[in-house]
Amino acid sequence: MNFLKINGAHGEGGGQIVRSAITLSCITNQPIHLENIRKNRKNSGLKPQHLTAIKILQKITNADVIGAEIGSTELKFIPRNIESLELIEDVKTAGSISLILQVLIPVVSISQKKLSLTIKGGTDVLWSPSMDYTQYILKEAYSRMGINFSIEITNRGYYPKGGGEIKLEVYPAKIKLVNFFERKTNNVKLICTFSKIPLIIIEEEIEKIKEKICKEKNNVEIIIKEEKAIDSGASLLMYSIDDNSIMGVDTLFNKKTQNFDLNFNKFMNNSLGLDEKLADMIVVPASLAEGKTVFRVKEITNHLETNLFVTSKITGCKYGIGKISEGFEVIIEGVSNSSIK
């Protein structure tokens, strides 16, 4: 069998290579052989959220899989026919549901299928986009690219106990070109969800952030919601959206310091098209759009650089990165693959 070999130690050498490679393997029907998985991480190999994503995709694509085990540093994934399914899954840890959805949504939608999924795990955990980031930021970007999904959050799941649950619906897509150049709006939204933390503490923290936003002559809309969860915790999303930009930053409540470690200046000082986290997430669909997707970002992260490389290797898309006065402009020239129309 003709496997495309992917070195998981390339670039940042983390889980993003695994997610992108398997996603594109399914969409393009290309068997892949992943080696050195998460080689550059302290604990290398597959984690529970990677394994859950792989096993769900195995069901959706009727794939043959070799090496799908916790800690495995090598994986062979052979996708076959993709089906529309209704599934119930459980990560069984506080492993990130958001990172799993990054894999599932493009595969199902771009392949013109549907998915109804109920999944348990971590909704708001470290080193991962919060569920609100997925619901408000990624959903907006994907919608503009022709990928549509809906999320219902039944329970929040914070580290370390997890136990969160969401219901996901994914719909068939028609990939479209997008451009994200410059943020012009001065409207900012704050969404805070919390569980088993005194409301007064949350409100005091939000008020401090609100004062900072208003000092910068921005309008601010605030939503604070108490939600069910097994463990105590809170997450905060600050974002702005206009016709030419989608910008978000999220963080978790630090229970030791009793505050939100929000990178406020990073958000306020960025007037370009996308935040760096979202830029990374749109590479896969952009690689499959017919024509050029262009976006501007403050920095080229290791995640983005690695994702561009891996995606171009699998799809054959071309990309370029140019320096501009405030950051960088990225151009992705996608490929129209007849097998995914």
CATH number at residue 32: 3.30.110
Residue with tokens 């993709």: 82
42, part of any domain:
yes
187, part of any domain:
no
70, part of any domain:
yes
Per-residue CA distances from 64 to 73, 129, 198, 307 (Å): 17, 29, 49, 24
Q: Which of these three, 80, 113, 137, is where a domain ends?
A: 80
CATH number at residue 282: 3.30.1370
Q: Which of these three, 57, 80, 103, is where a domain ends?
A: 80
Whether residue 10 has pLDDT greater than 90? no
72, part of any domain:
yes
Tell me the pLDDT tens digit for each residue of 27-53.
999 999 999 998 777 788 898 888 999
Residues tagged active-site: 303
Residue type, 119: I
Lowest-confidence region among 178-182, 213-217, 294-298: 213-217
Q: Which of these three, 80, 103, 128, is where a domain ends?
A: 80
Q: How confident is the model at residue 337 (pLDDT cuts 50, 70, 90)?
A: low
Lowest-confidence region among 145-149, 159-163, 224-228: 159-163
Average the pLDDT over 153-181 and give the result.
Answer: 95
334, part of any domain:
yes
CA-to-CA distance for 266 and 209, rounded, in angstroms?
13
Q: Is 34 helix (H, G, I), strand (E, B) or coil?
A: strand
Query: What would the two tokens of residue 69 be?
Result: 């085990």
Give the side-chain half-sphere CA count within 13 A for 79.
24
Number of separate domains in the chain: 2
307, part of any domain:
yes
CA-to-CA distance for 34 and 244, rounded, in angstroms?
36
Per-residue CA distances from 67 to 107, 122, 184, 226 (Å): 21, 24, 48, 41
Answer for the pair 147, 108: CB distance below 8 angstroms, yes or no: no
Tell me the pLDDT tens digit for each residue of 244-266.
999 999 999 999 999 998 888 88
36, part of any domain:
yes
Report pTM: 0.94
255, part of any domain:
no
Residue type, 30: Q
Query: What would the two tokens of residue 25 be?
Result: 């393997």
- Host domain of residue 39: 1-80
**Residue-level pLDDT at 81:** 93
